[in-house]
Structure 1
């Protein structure tokens, strides 16, 4: 034993470190590369638990009534422009708040899609003891064999987006027994192996391996476009309600003037009855008309109250919108009838086919279909995987040697340090290269998936064509509605002017005794109807402009709203721009 130890080569600590340096450099490179690729801390480095286990923060507003809304509430009146109600809806409306979560959820689907490429560390620690009875002690020198085993195995692996996969295995074992014939007892063994596998056909390259990532990104975009579509609908809803409020407030004034006129007529009738120039039955007719007009005024006032409650529901997140007791006072005037006269309809249709959120959603669906086709086309290929590996192994432990007379004598003693030195010095290297080919005979599943993906994409393309046709019709219908309401304004203005002249003429005839009070009251009602019709035409023209913006998909741009701000719920006040294509103008 001493002679053996005298002939053992003396290895310095520097030589041991130098022997294991190449493998340590490789391991460091893998870990650092993984860190750069994943852009997060690697287990068990600091920050790994925060990135992987920490609960993501969620931004929530604690205020139920925004500061901006409070700033608009003065002297018991909530003075609002159309831009104000749009901003308040996007900031506070509960339906918008709910829809705002969908794009955020879609972002985490992208994060989940990267899970396939996350590095994985696996380790197994085990200890065991076994006792086995033996029929003879010739081989072991004992009647029952007792083994004590300890294992510590580590595996680090990762799949890259190119399909390349590497795996590093570091296995360690310690085995001892009561076998008297064992030459090394206890036996310490270690092995270290690095394996790289690269698909050559099926699953080769970025295309098949990043399918779910690319689809998840498209789905996130689809989610944003769907959110944009919903907030456009919400903006259009609140715009229509805003202008209905404008009409309701002005219509109450019309009905109040009509009631005042009927009351004045009734007072005049009473005086004429007193002096005997008018029959008492005429007073009954005027009083009946006063009652009818009071009913109209009451209905209009309560309708306005309901509209205000509906508006408060849309612009706040209060459980009971009636907690805002202020009345709503719209500030914006109606759109001028001369606006949008040079509107370019053909350009508007082309713009809508590019800008509508539904179109963008449909095109992303087609992109997803193309990704599926490319993926399933790749899955039709045979599997051919090239694998190369390099490893090294080592043994250590107290040994025994045979004496000249055949007996076992204590031999050289080596421990864990010697075992690791031999391992990292690569005294016993192992090389291996192999290629595995798998050819499906029919591959019915792959062919069915490919055919299904192809048909689904064609279906999505046809759906896009139908959607473009429908959007073009919506734009043309919205423009037709705009022009119709423009024409209505002129017609209702003329009707109101004529109603004023008819009323004036009927009153003069009544004073001369050539007409009755019934015809005077009838002309008063006709004038009130004409005034309401003119006001309705002006409001409908303004609403049709908003409907045209919606049909073109330009609502957000017209109000300088960025979809990112809408998702964040932070809308900055900005000037509204009228929607007209490049060739159009007011």
Structure 2
């Protein structure tokens, strides 16, 4: 039935109830009429929440996919849980930060003056006090390596001037490169790499948990949507029941008028009409609560206009053509279920721990390679002029002649020419061995890691069994609900036929008014039971999709976080 037809039918029921209840046979006492006035007024004034929303222009049609889309964008539970994968991503970034390059710069300036108390030294140097000034400026770059080792590159620069130096100022420099690599302990896996690998696994687990949270919200939205369908349709059934009761009241009034029915029957039928309308009103409480639950799932703003609207679900539950194959559903669940995937990742984390602690049980053997080219220069440095035979060349005064040195005369530039030319080089190779007798701490940690993996294997085995039971229950529930729906449909058809027969018997005087009213109530109960069976069947299908963790793919959803 269309929404407009439903509204028209509801108005017709209320109008008929008003017309019928307004008639009071002359044979009834005045006190009875007064006692029913309040109920009649209520019947005249009452309209359903759906009618009020349509009248006020606040009704809003929603398909199930629309609700799911709103939930994915606005559900507060999804929003809250979406931060965990992002936080875990930053944790992974922080763990990788151990491989960042580190630069260290230090500089020193020193000025020194001191008396020379040694008279002989004073005579040799020709000075009575010692004066010097010096500065150092050093740069060091270092980082940890993914192989477990470290690399360091340093540039050391100094300038020195002193009244005891032969040449002033003098410059010196050194470039050092050092590489340290573990060969036994920490070679396969060290603490830094373990932390990074565990952080990657934790990020994967957080993504799985978020998918699970989204799937849980989708299931909740679908269940609530179908519950709202059920609540609205249940009220519609109660309206149909009230309509039948009012038709019966109208027929009874005519029979009383012509004297073929006792007036007391009118009172009995009026009571049934009032109870039917009461059930219509009571059904509205379920509609309101279910609708509020759906609104809460699809909005994140308490001031959203949706709170002032009435949501009308337009999708109808469909009967599945066939029940999924158990083995296929179980295999799908084994592949998709988040708890299984999370436990598999936990087992991978256990393997990382076992590999790390196994490395810690080994002796320490580190290889160190060092190379350090260096250089020195002075802008005032002179060297003797030599002839072709290597003898000093004398000047006119008979003293040796001096000239600038191509190799040593200059400043820091000349120093770095020597350094990068590897003119003066020192290097070394070193091995460092360390052995811990017993090493009980590392062995105990390795044993704990292995026990943890055995425990997670047992958890995984139990989880597989629990998942199989979930899928089995879901499939069997679908089968039971299909049979229940078939049975409820047959029962409803029989109740319709029963009511038709009772009406004919009543017309012929073979059935009482009570029997007709009871049959009407039975028909309403049968229709309600059929609807509940249909909704339960639909929700059991949702439960199966949830047990195989296919709600995301069923709704063609792909989870993507902002990375």
TM-score scaled by structure 2?
Answer: 0.79
Q: Mark the CA change 1:139 to 1:111 in structure 2 (over 3 Å): closer, same or farther.
A: farther
Aligned to 1:351: 332
| 2:189–2:356 contact (8 Å) kept in structure 1 | no
Larger radius of gyration: 2
Alignment partner, residue 43 of structure 1: none
Distance in 1 of aligned mates of 2:530 and 2:429: 88
Q: Using a 3 Å threshold, how does the CA distance of structure 1 residues 269 and 418 change in structure 2: closer, same or farther?
A: same
- Whether 1:112 and 2:94 are equivalent positions in the alignment is yes
Which of 94, 99, 107 is 1:125 aligned to?
107
- Closer, same or farther in 2 for the Cα pair 1:395/1:137, shift >3 Å? farther
> Is the contact between residue 203 and residue 209 of structure 1 (CA under 8 Å) also seen in structure 2?
no
Contact 2:189 2:355 in 1 (8 A): no
Aligned length: 483
Q: Does 1:263 align with 2:246?
A: yes
Taking the aligned partners of 2:366 and 2:69, their CA distance within structure 1 comes to: 57
Q: Does 1:518 pair with 2:500?
A: no
1:223 correspondence with 2:206? yes
**8 A contact 1:81–1:330 mirrored in 2:** yes
Root-mean-square deviation (Å): 2.8
* Partner Cα separation in structure 2 for residue 133 and residue 537 of structure 1: 108
Distance 2:318 2:300 in 1: 30
Distance 1:568 1:411 in 2: 69
* Cα deviations by residue, 1:365-402 (Å, 9 ceiling, x for unpaired): 1001101101111111111111111112223335699x
Query: With structure 1 as the length reference, what TM-score do the two structures score?
Result: 0.76
Change (3 A) 1:444 1:206: closer
CA distance in 1, matches of 2:382, 2:118: 22
Aligned to 1:471: 467
Helix, strand or coil for the counterpart of 1:181?
A: coil
Offset, 1:350: 2.0
Partner of 2:450 in structure 1?
Answer: 454
Determine helix, strand or coil for the equivalent of 1:563: coil
Alignment partner of 1:460: what SS? helix
Does the Cα contact within 8 Å between 2:189 and 2:359 map onto a contact in 1?
no
Structure 1 residue 144: Cα displacement: 6.2
Q: Tell whether the 8 Å contact from 1:150 to 1:173 is kept in structure 2 after alignment.
A: yes
Write out the 4+ residue segments of structure 1 that deviate beyond 6 Å after TM superposition.
140-144, 410-413
1:526-583 per-residue CA deviation (whole Å, 9 max, x = no partner) reads 110100000110111111111011111221222222223xx469xxxxxxxxxxxxxx
- 2:143 corresponds in structure 1 to 158
Given the alignment, which residue of 338, 356, 376 partners 1:395? 376
- Distance of 2:251 and 2:303 partners within structure 1: 48
Asked whether 1:253 is paired with 2:249, we answer no
- Alpha-carbon deviation of 1:174? 2.1
- Check whether the contact 1:161–1:210 (CA below 8 A) recurs between aligned residues: yes
Checking the alignment, whether the CA contact within 8 Å between 2:188 and 2:359 is kept in structure 1 is no
> Match for residue 15 of structure 1?
none
CA contact (8 A) 2:371 2:428 kept: yes
* Aligned 8 A contact 1:194 1:390 in 2: yes
Superposed, 1:121-270 pairs within 5 Å as 121-130=103-112, 136=118, 139=121, 145=130, 147-177=132-162, 180-205=163-188, 210-270=193-253
Secondary structure of residue in 2 paired with 1:354: helix
Q: How far does the alpha carbon of each residue in 1:422-478 deviate from its partner, in whole angstroms, 9 at most, with x for none?
A: 333333210111111111123232122211211111111111111111111000111
Unaligned runs of 5+ in 2: 1-56, 384-401
